[in-house]
Amino acid sequence: MNEPITIDSLVEAKWIIPVEPDRAVLEYHAIAIDDGVIFDILPASEAKHRYNPQQTTVLDNHALIPGLINLHTHAAMTLMRGLADDLSLMDWLHHHIWPAENRHVTAQYVLDGTLLACAEMIRGGITCFNDMYFFPEATAEAVIHSEIRAAIGLIVIDAPTAYASDTDDYLAKGLDLRDRHHQHPLLSFCFAPHAPYSVSDNTFNRIVTYAEQLNMPIHTHLHETQAEIRISEESQRMRPLERMRQLGLLSPNLIATHMVHLTDHEMDLMHQYGCHIAHCPSSNLKLASGFAPIASLLNRNINVGLGTDGAASNNRLDMFEEMRIAALLTKATSGQADTLPAHQALRMATLNGAQALGLEGKIGSLTKGKAADIAAIDFSHLNLTPCYDPVSHLVYAASRDQVSHVWVNGKMLLQDGKLTNLDTKDIRYRAAYWQERIAASTS
């Protein structure tokens, strides 16, 4: 008889929902983890004999899923949560958010706000987020400290800020950050031009060239509101997506966020060029941006992932909420109850996000050889009882409050609902400091 193989850890659960293959649900299985990677997935009864783990976690009434991937957020904006609610996007940006950012956003602000966001996201089963904000080096510092995974956006906007003076400065600082950290196991990078209405043709052209040379995604806001489209038609004599096409941005490297207002031709273009979409249903609802045509996009086999947007325009960095709202809105707007079923909503929150970031070989599903980025959901709660279909419950009944354990790269960051490596008292103290400063300047 062969000797048991020594591994770092073994996690046993009532259900494992790997996302790949589609619709699979494994009952009473275990995940063997070694050196941060999923070494094996097998029946728990066999795992006890085959492996000698340094640590064993037995979760008798839990489901294990791939860590959720937040495909679009502005993590540091957690410090502006609830600052200016119930306003339209342009009013919210021009009269409240941008003035507050001009007064307060520094590297320290971004570090403190991102640490708060990382704590919230880890507790909600999010193991990777795609960020876009100023001082991305501070975002990277918070990610490394938190040991979550992130795609760091190299922000570019055609306006001077406390972070950078002009386009050259934005690009130089962003590329330097990428050069210093591109080998870090938890970090990847995207170019992050803010939006068509805030970035010039020349800047977009430079970004396209760099993105092609470095094989990096381009992450931008696009077709979020009717006002954005009207501005483009008046200033450019074309809709934003057509401008992006002419500038060469449409490609498998593009992550277009929101994409609420689209014609059939524009959706066909997204399919033709293999672009990805970050769908942010809660933010679209809160800012009254509209209803993205998700059913039509999915019917065209366009890859759609899910994002929360920033906590200032959503108020929650909660991917369980986004899955549920996305599924329900798509059914209502399409008039088809079988549109966007639960298993597809879960895939949008996991593997689809990984594909958009070019990370599907590493994360997004529970598969041998991929990073052990895992979330455990406790099904012993009354609101998850009884359970006929655990995938249905994850989308329609569960909440982030039922997330009990989280691993990133095989390291447990949440154990029995408690963060293992972040000081929540210190994070609260930092948030209170910024709340006092921001409130005093806006009163």
Q: Is there a domain that residue 205 lies in?
A: yes
Q: How many CA atoms lie within 13 A of 60 on its CB side?
A: 1
Signed CA dihedral, 99, 105, 110, 113: sign only: negative
| Token pair listed for 423 | 């000081």
- Same domain assignment for residues 108 and 136: yes
Does a structural domain hold residue 85?
A: yes
Query: The domain spanning residue 381 has which CATH number?
Result: 2.30.40.10
Domain residues for the domain of 149 are: 68-356
pLDDT at 91: 87
The reported pLDDT for the residue numbered 1 is 56
Q: Which residues of the chain have pLDDT under 70?
A: 1, 443
Whether 425 maps to a domain, the answer reads: no
pLDDT computed for residue 229 by the predictor: 97
The region that residue 428 occupies, defined by phi over 0 for left and psi between -120 and 50 for alpha, beta otherwise, is alpha
Q: What residue type is 55 in one-letter code?
A: Q
C-alpha pair distances (Å), 39 with each of 9, 35, 236? 10, 9, 53
Does residue 83 sit in the same domain as residue 47? no
pLDDT tens sequence across 189-200: 999 999 999 999
Q: What are phi and psi of 299, to 5 degrees?
A: -65, -25
Whether 331 and 197 share a structural domain: yes
Whether the bond into 21 is cis, omega within 30 of 0:
yes
The answer to whether the CB of 8 falls within 8 A of the CB of 55 is yes
Tokens of 211: 């993105």
- Please tell me the distance from the alpha carbon of residue 32 to that of residue 50, in angstroms, as a whole number: 10
Our count of domains for the chain comes to 2
- Asked whether the whole model's pTM tops 0.85, one would answer yes
Asked, for residue 364, whether it belongs to a domain, the answer is no
Nearest Cα neighbor of 110 from 71, 145, 75 is: 75
Residue 199 counted as domain residue: yes
Answer whether residue 367 is part of any domain: no
Token duo for residue 160:
């001077």
Distance CA 271, CA 251 (A): 10
Q: Report d(CA 191, CA 390) in Å as an integer.
A: 37
| Contact indicator for 56, 9 with CB cutoff of 8 Å | yes
- Is 422 part of any domain? no
The Cα–Cα gap between 25 and 29 comes to: 10
3-state secondary structure of 11: strand
Q: In the Cβ-directed half-sphere of 47, how many Cα atoms lie within 13 Å?
A: 23
Residue 434 lies in a domain: no
Note whether 83 and 22 are same-domain residues: no
Note whether 128 and 192 are same-domain residues: yes
Residue 224 three-state SS: coil
Say whether both 29 and 88 belong to one domain. Answer: no
* 210 and 323 co-located in one domain: yes
Q: Is residue 198 located within the same domain as residue 254? A: yes
Q: Find the length of the chain.
A: 443
Are 159 and 302 in the same domain?
Answer: yes
Residues 271 and 306 both lie in one domain: yes
Residues 6+ apart with CB under 8 A from 60: 13, 14
Do 54 and 76 reside in the same domain of the chain? Answer: no
Q: Are residues 137 and 12 in the same domain?
A: no
User: 7: part of which helix (H) or strand (E)?
Assistant: strand 5-16
CA 213, CA 369: separation in Å to the nearest integer?
28
The CATH number of residue 313's host domain is: 3.20.20.140
Q: Which regions of 104-259 does DSSP assign to beta strands (E)? A: 126-131, 149-156, 187-193, 218-222, 254-258
